[in-house]
Chain A
Amino acid sequence: MENVIECRNLTHYYGQRLIYKDLNFNVPKGRILGLLGKNGTGKTTTINILSGFLQPRSGECRILGEKIGEMNPETRRRIGLLIEGHVQYQFMTIEQIERFYSAFYPGWKREAYYELMSRLKVAPRQRINRMSCGQRSQVALGLILAQDPEVLVLDDFSLGLDPGYRRLFVDYLREYAKAENKTVFLTSHIIQDMERLVDDCIIMDYGRILVQMPVDELLGNIRRYTATAENGYTPTQAEGLYNPSMIRNMLEVFSMRPESEVIEMLKAEGLKDVKAEKIGLEDAFIGLTGKY
């Protein structure tokens, strides 16, 4: 499958602090890929590198086959960018901003923008800085839909949105991306939104990628195991078992290894009442990265 975004051996530091080393990932055409990670694992760093606002210490990223640092303006026209917090020109009204952007994009879809704007209860001459965060998110999304880019890079799209606006954003975006075969790379703090939206996910831990796979495959394989332990039991760190933890005498551990294999392994350690359960993306994320 053709890769629209390719990052090779990305390494970045802030001062002496390593963010990640030799990070590699691809986003195939037509897929929606979500980047998940705790604070400080490098999500925004990755978005900044992808949008050309940060030079990595080493390695390179290409979007639509072009190196980001040397990207032709014509290629940039095919990329839609949503900045964290739905930042748009605060000093413009919804009419002014549409008029401004339309001059840069020959295939500008004015109707797509105004269709979304018609849902907002804002006066045509109301400036963006006087809108709520939810309304601003719709303006930003409307502008991206009107631009009609091939690739969308969205940084923390759910930041500051109430559940209604988040749902509106997610549903609109997914329907648009699937209908038009768009490639999307995004981050969000709200993992339930990601579960509704993304096809593939990358889960990052400090300095590395823990998992990169389709969400269906991840959720099909990962299980949460609980078991009762004797007093004084200390969980062992076995390969393929993630973040074992004890609450009173109850063990909780996560794994993507075959269910029967893990149950056997836990029973062999003398644990009782071993149970396996399927989990959602948020629990999978916590299971792989830990609670703290």
Chain B
Amino acid sequence: MIRAIFYKEWIKIGWYWLLALIASTGFAGFAMLRLGRACSLKGAAHIWQVMIERDAIFIDLLQYVPLIIGLGLAIVQFVPELQRKSFKLTLHLPIRATTAVGTMLLFGATMLIVSFIPAIVIMYCYLQSFLAPELWQHVLFTSAPWYAAGLAAYFLTAWIALEPTWARRVINGVIALLIIKVYFQQAKPEAYNGFMPLLSIVTLLLSMLSMISLTRFRDGRQD
């Protein structure tokens, strides 16, 4: 039954996921190409110097890419369920409603993470080729909250989409914006290093918000 839910989710997100994978990998590849070009023109030593003296990370282009991908994935996955209230069909399946929604979220979050992996691997492999460990770790650690924001955007959008009333959706949207702001509060590279374990836990806990929307949907809340 869990596999059947995965199958349904794949039908909804398949094309979007491929586009997301290409976009995420493409942006990372483009950022690396740009860095490689600068390296070949000015030399690796110059890149090192700019990174150390000016705190440059050369991947600023990627900052909002995971966020947009996460938000889009939740829309593509959950909005069709809400069209003409077909979410009722999911809740009528002979499995627990929390299991059904949890499985949908698990599938979406896993696919989102998988779509980010090639980008991270490209950056990891490429940066290692000409940067000292401290410098490539500096770049990757700086991007960590951006990817966490992608996952948070996914969970928060799912929470808003599953909410049955528009009034509450607006409130949830405002709360979601404030939560997302936390992930982009500090522009300084590696500003989140000490905070990342806690931020990761909070990000995963955001998945529980959808259960509030589920309870409200089952109670028949209306505008």
Interface residues of A (CB under 8 A from B): 14, 48, 51-55, 73-74, 76-77, 79, 81, 83, 85, 87-92, 96, 99-101, 103-105
> A92 contacts B11, CB within 8 Å?
yes
> A100 contacts B7, CB within 8 Å?
yes
What CA separation (Å) do A139 and B86 show in the bound complex?
14
| Closest B residue to A101 using CB positions | B4
What CA separation (Å) do A53 and B3 show in the bound complex?
25
> A83 contacts B85, CB within 8 Å?
yes
Task: Let me know if B128 is at the binding interface, CB within 8 A.
Answer: no
Considering only residues 86-110 of chain B, those with a C-beta below 8 Å from chain A are: 86, 88-89, 91-96
How many interface residues does chain B have, given as a range? Answer: 20 to 34
> A55 contacts B219, CB within 8 Å?
yes
- Set B12, B86, B89, B91: member contacting A52, Cβ < 8 A: B91
Task: Let me know if B168 is at the binding interface, CB within 8 A.
Answer: no
Task: Let me know if B84 is at the binding interface, CB within 8 A.
Answer: yes
Q: Least Cβ distance of A183 to chain B in Å?
A: 17
- Set A52, A74, A99, A104: member contacting B1, Cβ < 8 A: A104
The 10 closest A-B pairs by CB, nearest first: A54-B220, A103-B4, A77-B94, A73-B94, A87-B84, A76-B94, A55-B219, A81-B92, A91-B80, A87-B86
> B86 contacts A89, CB within 8 Å?
yes
Task: Let me know if B222 is at the binding interface, CB within 8 A.
Answer: yes
What CA separation (Å) do A21 and B77 show in the bound complex?
39
> A104 contacts B11, CB within 8 Å?
no
- Set A53, A79, A103, A104: member contacting B220, Cβ < 8 A: A53
14 cross-chain CB contacts under 8 A: A53-B91, A53-B220, A55-B218, A73-B93, A83-B85, A83-B86, A83-B89, A87-B84, A91-B80, A92-B8, A96-B7, A103-B4, A103-B7, A105-B94
Contacts of A90 in B (CB 8 A): 80, 83-84, 86
Q: Least Cβ distance of A106 to chain B in Å?
A: 10
| Closest A residue to B217 using CB positions | A53
What CA separation (Å) do A87 and B11 show in the bound complex?
17
Beyond the given A48-B220, A52-B218, could you list 10 further A-B residue pairs with CB under 8 A, ordered by the A residue number?
Answer: A51-B92, A52-B92, A81-B88, A81-B92, A88-B89, A89-B80, A90-B86, A96-B7, A104-B95, A105-B94
Contacts of B1 in A (CB 8 A): 103-104
Q: Least Cβ distance of B203 to chain A in Å?
A: 28
CB contacts between A and B, total, < 8 Å: 74
- Set B4, B12, B91, B219: member contacting A104, Cβ < 8 A: B4
Main secondary structure of the interface of B (DSSP, over half): helix
Residue among A90, A91, A101, A105 with the highest chain B CB neighbour number at 10 A: A91
Contacts of A103 in B (CB 8 A): 1, 3-4, 7
Contacts of B7 in A (CB 8 A): 96, 99-100, 103
> B4 contacts A85, CB within 8 Å?
no
| Closest A residue to B7 using CB positions | A100
What CA separation (Å) do A53 and B216 show in the bound complex?
9
| Closest B residue to A55 using CB positions | B219
Contacts of A105 in B (CB 8 A): 94
> B220 contacts A73, CB within 8 Å?
no
Contacts of B220 in A (CB 8 A): 48, 53-55
Task: Known contacts A55-B220, A89-B8; decide if A104 and B93 are in contact (CB<8 Å).
Answer: yes
> A100 contacts B4, CB within 8 Å?
yes
> B219 contacts A54, CB within 8 Å?
yes
Q: Least Cβ distance of A5 to chain B in Å?
A: 16
Task: Known contacts A53-B220, A55-B219, A89-B8; decide if A104 and B86 are in contact (CB<8 Å).
Answer: no
